[in-house]
Structure formats: C-alpha cells, structure tokens
Structure 1
Amino acid sequence: MSEYDSANRFTVKQIETAHQKVKSGADFPAYIREIIALGVKSFETFVIDSHTDYYGDNGYLVTSDPQYTSLRIAGKSDSERFKSYLKDHQKGGSDYFTFCMQCAETGIEKWIVCTEKMTCTYYDYLGEEVLVETIPS
C-alpha cells in the first residue's frame, strides 16, 4: 500500500512516526490521541515480537513488522507483578522493550486498545483478561 491511498486511510509509517514520540508509558495518551486523528479505531499488539494489527473503518487493517526477536511468554500469568511493572512503566520507569520483556515474564500475551472506548485491555496466554484500563484523555 502506498504512503497515502485514495480512501484517506492511515499507514503503518504514519503510526510509526507518531509512536517515535513515545519514550515511556507516560507518553501513551498523547500517542493515542494522534492515531485517533489518523483514523485508528483499535489495535492489537502481540508481546511475542510487538507486531501490531491496526484497525480502521470498514474492516480496514494494516499490520506492522515485528519490532524485535521473539520473546517467550510465560505459561502462567502473574497479574500482581504485571500490574506493578505497568504502573512503573506508566510513570516513565521503563522503556518499551523493557516493558514488553516484563509482559512476557508475567504471562501477558497481548493488549488491545479500543480508541472509541479509550481502553487498553491486557490478556494472558489463555486469552483471559488480566486488566482493563481507561486511557487518560
């Protein structure tokens, strides 16, 4: 797909440009606002390699490339440790890759952001919800 297509749909390159501004979890709300403006309705990020599926209107989907070599996701989730890591990350205490390693360590397989509801839901390897958070606007 070209950088900009005739349907005015977002591209992975546009999303990656917005994401480059994110240095820690503290920057996440501004990133979400920026990709909403691009037309992103939701996205699903897979901890194993951080590839992400971005969804727009009318079934539109683009997928990013993996961001790192595959991580091993723990077979058992540790929700309390995960929540501690997440809290630290949101305060700027870790970078993105460190947070992803911590997710893998605590059994988090993926997260799904719904920009319409402004929620981020974390799932374990069994597909069970571990945590649903409201994204500050």
Structure 2
Amino acid sequence: MFTIEQIKEAHSKVKSGADFPNYIQDLIILGVKGYDTFVNDGHVQYFGVNNYNVTSDEKYDEIEVASSANKERFIEFLAMHQDGQTDYLTFCSHAGQCGIAKWRVDIIEMTCTYFDKSGSEIIIEKIPV
C-alpha cells in the first residue's frame, strides 16, 4: 500500500495545474484510487483498494470558504490554474473565495468533482490523460 511519504514525493513535482495529469499518473502507479482535498486547511484523504486510506496533515493556515458558491468565477480561476498561471496555494485561496469546500479526484472514473460546503456538486470535469 502507498504512504503519505510516497504521495508527497509525487506531489513535489507539481508546480502548477499544468502538471496535474502527470501527478495523476504517478498516483495510479502507487495504487491510489482517489482522494479528497479539503480547501480549509489543505489536508487530503487518499483512498486505495480494500477501504485502505491515509490522511495527510494540514498544508497551510486556514482558508475561509465562502458560504455560497460562485461557479462562474471559479471556472475562470480553474482555467487560469490549469494554464499554469497560479500556484497551488493561490488556487486553494481562489477556491475558498468561490465557495469550494473540497474536491474529489476519482482516478478510476478520471474525474475531478468540486463541492460546496453543503456537499453539492458544483463542477465535474474529466481529467486529461
């Protein structure tokens, strides 16, 4: 099974959203099936086979998540990040401003789903491979 240390090593190669597809490929090799990233403090819960999971520590000081989602503005920030224009912490801050509480990456389905505080799906996108 994978460890947080192995995941951290794969994540260390990510400098912007443009690096995300390669990161996903590294996680597949490790056996990660999906993960939830929590915007408020950056902790991540990773899932594998047979209900195996590991959780990382918080990654940054708390980010306030807006109480309602601004889907249109978030789509603009997401496009900027995927184009390599923002770093990870800036993207997380933008997500919080737009009411995104977490995102779930499903490596089996190759989707990334963004959720608001109530758990409603705001955006579902296919992960490029």
Q: TM-score, normalised by structure 2?
A: 0.99
Please state if 1:117 is matched with 2:109.
yes
Q: Output one character per residue of 1:38-57: Cα deviation in whole Å (capped at 9) or x when no partner.
A: 00001000000110000000
Q: What one-letter code is carried by the residue in structure 2 that aligns with 1:103? A: A
RMSD (Å) for aligned C-alpha atoms: 0.5
Correspondence for 2:2:
10
d(CA) in 2 for partners of 1:106, 1:116? 27
- Which of 62, 66, 72 is residue 80 of structure 1 equivalent to? 72
How many residues end up aligned between the 2 structures?
A: 129
Unaligned runs of 5+ in 1: 1-8
The equivalent position to 1:30 in structure 2, one of 18, 22, 25, is 22
Structure-2 residue corresponding to 1:62: 54
How do 1:74-113 residues align onto structure 2 when only pairs under 5 Å count?
Answer: 74-113=66-105
Alpha-carbon distance, 1:76 to partner: 1.1
Q: Which is higher, the Rg of structure 1 or of structure 2?
A: 1
**How far 1:92 sits from its partner (Å)?**
0.2
Structure 2 gaps of 5+ residues are none
Is 2:92 the partner of 1:134?
no
Compute the displacement of 1:70 (Å): 1.0
Q: Could you list the per-position Cα deviations for residues 27-82 of structure 1 after superposition, in whole angstroms to 9, with x for gaps in the alignment?
A: 00000000011000010000001100000000101000100011110011100000
Q: Residues 99-122 of structure 1, C-alpha deviation per residue, up to 9 Å, x if partnerless?
A: 000000000000000000110000
Q: CA deviation at 1:126?
A: 1.2
In 1, distance between residues paired with 2:15 and 2:105? 18
When normalised by structure 1's length, the TM-score is 0.93
Task: Say whether 1:20 aligns with 2:9.
Answer: no
Residue type matched to 1:49 in 2? D
Q: Secondary structure at the match of 2:124?
A: strand
- Are residues 1:41 and 2:27 paired? no
Secondary structure, counterpart of 1:108 in structure 2: coil
Runs ≥4 residues deviating over 2 A: none
